[in-house]
Structures are given as C-alpha cells and as structure tokens.
Amino acid sequence: MAAPQTLAPQRDDPSCSAIALHDISLSFGGLDVLRDVSLDVRRGEIVGLIGPNGAGKSSLLNVMSGFYRADRGGVSIDGTRLDRLRPQRVARAGVVRTFQNLGLFAGMTVLDNVLTGHALHGKVGWPHYLLRTRAARTEDRRNREAALDALASLDLQDHADTLVSALPYGVQKRVELARAKAMTPQTLLLDEPLAGMNPDEKHEMVSAIRSARDIRGTTVVLIEHDIGVVLTLADRLVVLDRGRVIADGPPTTVAADSAVIAAYLGTRH
C-alpha cells in the first residue's frame, strides 16, 4: 500500500519561507509604529505574535496583508514582492487576514458569508456571471464546495443556512475563520481569533487552528493576548514592543526572557 501523503510541508527546511518581512518601518504622523522589523515565517509554522497594547501587532499584520503600505522595507513570498499589492491581490497570492472585530455580514447566512470571501477571490470576471457561462457555473460550484468543506472543518455545517446574527459570538468567530479557510490560503493571519470567547469556545478554536496547519499545512501567524493559549499553540513566539522585535524564538525561552517580562510588566530599562 502506498504511504499516506504528507500534506504539511517540511517545517524545518529554512528555504521554505511562507512570508518574509525585511526591515519594515511604518509611522503615522510622526509616531513610529514599526521600526526595522524583519521576520521570516517558515511554511507550516504557527507563529504567535505578542506584545503590549499599542506595540504594533495589528499594524504588522496589516503590512503583511497589504492593508498598510510600509514606509520602508519589503514583504515577499519566495522572493516575489507583495508589498506593492492591494489586499485582494495579496489574498490571491495565498495570504489571508482576519480582523480583531468581526468582519461578517450579520444579516446574511453563514454560507453566504463564507462565499463572500470567494467573491473577492474569483478568477472568472463578472460578465461570465451575468451571462451564466459554463466557467461561471463551474467556479460557483467549486466555491460552494470549498465553503461547505471549510464549514465542516469547523463543525459549522449545521449552521450553513442560519443568519449570522442569530449565532453566539464564539460561533461567529469560527464562521470568520471558515471564510478565511474557504479561500484555501497558504498563510492565515489571525488577529485575536479567541478574543471574547469562553474556555470551551477557545478550546474549539485552538483545535481548528491547529488542524488547519496539521491537515493542510497552512502557515499561521496569530496575535493573541491569552499567553496560556499561545504557549500551547505556537511553535515560535515573536514579541513586539514599541514597534520593534524584542524577542523571537521557542515559546518557553521567549516567555522567560527578561526583556519580554519587563515589556509586559512595564518595567523596561
């Protein structure tokens, strides 16, 4: 019998870069938000991005996903520059971001919300949809299958026809992850995916994120304030403080780093 196919790429292969940031700097009206940030995220890695409030974490995800344009530095995948692309093109290149506050349409069903990700992602132009060409119908069918797969992977299949507004907050957060997963990203950028969840909902979300990596080999960069969760989920922790990377390494080593502890306790030297 043939050996089972391994979907997750070799995580230890340093040549397998999922996304790389080179000397990123960003400021708003004289406020330095990011300062010379360099980061190489390897394929299949789960990276926890942590740091005190206002450290620049969301801004960094915005730069990676094309929502912000850095003043200096570059973002690339395997040498291909992303930093001049709009978010929609970055998503097509495989890098998909979720937001801290839900970006769902409350008055639409769960399935339709998940399908909106594809509306941005579609390759077949609108004239095909207008004329209901075969290409449009095929893309429609594929999108629907991918959406239903993503819903099933998060145990949301029974909610496909439910209005988002009728669901508890924790389930809505899973719908948001399903929408991102349905776009079959190589890299998921998750901005506080567990915020506001109860312990059971957190547990389910952690499993969903881990399985995205374990089953599909998806690279994950996530911002999370619950340090207990980050320590169990992440392969690597990157700590930002006042726009700079102050630590980058294995979670237990980083959590014990005196500069990190000082940044969190507000006792910087």
Q: Are 42 and 14 in contact (CB under 8 A)?
A: yes
φ/ψ of residue 126, rounded to 5: -60, -30
Residue 218 makes contact with ligand ATP by CB under 6 A: no
CA distance 22 to 146: 33
Instruction: Report the residue number, 54 or 122, with the smaller CB distance to ligand ATP.
Output: 54
CB of 30 to ligand ATP, least distance (A): 10
CB of 135 to ligand ATP, least distance (A): 38
CA distance 101 to 103: 6
- How far apart, in Å, are the Cα atoms of 128 and each of 92, 131, 139, 200? 19, 5, 10, 44
Stretch that binds ligand ATP, among 52-60, 86-94, 155-163, 205-213 (CB under 6 A): 52-60
CB of 53 to ligand ATP, least distance (A): 4
What tokens appear for 154 in the block? 């998060």
Instruction: Report the residue number, 59 or 218, with the smaller CB distance to ligand ATP.
Output: 59
Residue 56 makes contact with ligand ATP by CB under 6 A: yes
| Residues in 11-30 that interact with ligand ATP by CB under 6 A | 28
Instruction: Report the residue number, 50 or 146, with the smaller CB distance to ligand ATP.
Output: 50
Residue 53 makes contact with ligand ATP by CB under 6 A: yes
Strand stretches in 13-168, DSSP E = 17-28, 31-42, 46-50, 72-77, 80-81, 95-97
Stretch that binds ligand ATP, among 54-62, 108-116, 162-170, 205-213 (CB under 6 A): 54-62
Residue 54 makes contact with ligand ATP by CB under 6 A: yes
Q: Are 226 and 194 in contact (CB under 8 A)?
A: yes
- How far apart, in Å, are the Cα atoms of 173 and each of 125, 186, 196, 253, 261? 30, 20, 9, 30, 30
* Adjacency order of strands within the sheet including 31-42: 31-42, 17-28, 72-77, 80-81
- The residue written with tokens 């399908």 in the block is 115
CB of 59 to ligand ATP, least distance (A): 3
Q: Residues 89-101, buried b or exposed e (16+ Cβ, 10 A)?
A: ebbbbbbbbbbee
Residue 97 makes contact with ligand ATP by CB under 6 A: no
Given candidates 19, 20, 21, 33, which one binds ligand ATP under the rule CB under 6 A? Answer: 33
Stretch that binds ligand ATP, among 5-13, 46-54, 72-80, 245-253 (CB under 6 A): 46-54
φ/ψ of residue 147, rounded to 5: -65, -45
Residue 42 makes contact with ligand ATP by CB under 6 A: no
Given candidates 48, 51, 117, 251, which one binds ligand ATP under the rule CB under 6 A? Answer: 51
CB of 181 to ligand ATP, least distance (A): 23
Given candidates 58, 65, 98, 219, which one binds ligand ATP under the rule CB under 6 A? Answer: 58
Binding site for ligand ATP (CB under 6 A): 28, 31, 33, 51, 53-59
